[in-house]
Amino acid sequence: MEVGVAMEPPEVREVETASVACDGGGGALGHPKVYLNMGDKRQVDCPYCGRRFVLKAGAKASAAH
Ligand SMILES: [Zn+2]
């Protein structure tokens, strides 16, 4: 089975805060930096590059202390 080179599997990144910024990794493959907020879902997909950000286990979704 051949897979088109343009269809890379989405990358999953674990982060410690519900607010993340994504620029596609920078360089030629990047995109304008966007800020994403997970809200209460603990994960969010970047609409530009499809990268998925997942809140690390144990991390708080909010900044409450
Ligand atoms: Zn992105």
Residue 45: DSSP 8-state: E
Which residues, 6+ apart, have CB-to-CB distance to 58 below 8 Å? Answer: none
Q: How far is the CA of 36 from the centre of ligand 1 (A)?
A: 9
Show pLDDT as tens, one digit a residue, over the chain (65 residues).
565 556 566 689 999 999 999 999 877 778 999 999 999 899 999 999 999 999 998 877 565 55
pLDDT for res 28: 79
Q: Indicate the residue type of 10.
A: P
Q: How far is the CA of 45 from the centre of ligand 1 (A)?
A: 8
Alpha helices per DSSP H over 1-65: none
- Given a contact cutoff of 8 angstroms between Cβ atoms, the answer to whether 6 and 46 are in contact is no
Q: How far is the CA of 47 from the centre of ligand 1 (A)?
A: 7
